[in-house]
Structure 1
């Protein structure tokens, strides 16, 4: 993820969830997940090419994606290693090795 962020002009919102202090990614701001979703829904006048979610537990991510859909967010991408039915772009169900290889390929293409 760090390489992807560095290769793009991404705005990064980071949650204060368990374990995120160990993630070496510089954030533009830190909010709770629902605050991030609320800001995205309230700032839809702002044009985002993509909203990409990463590192969110699958069951919570499903609810977040369904909520973003109801606000007509144009394109939502998830880098979760399991398929997400509410995402526009999502991996098929992958094992960890396939998933890491795919993420590396994406990072190199950016």
Structure 2
């Protein structure tokens, strides 16, 4: 059985969400490798001036596919939610900077 996504939004532990690094319970260096990999993939495939909901689905799929190839353990998570959370947080930060 796959690991379910925690309740709330990643990166918002004070507002009913959770800390993604703690929720994954991965080694800190492995989490940083994943995060940095996903950030580079976002830069390659996505329009960083737009939020996740405004991205082309193919771009988001490319980021997720690349991440799962590099980190097959992501298949242990329902819907590969850690990748979606990393995409959400990074695009939220980058698109806010653009404004």
* TM-score normalised by L of structure 1: 0.26
Structure having greater relative contact order (Cα 8 Å, sep ≥ 6): 2
Q: Between Structure 1 and Structure 2, whose CA radius of gyration is higher?
A: 1
- Scaled by the length of structure 2, the TM-score of the pair is 0.28
Normalized per residue, the structure richer in strand is 1
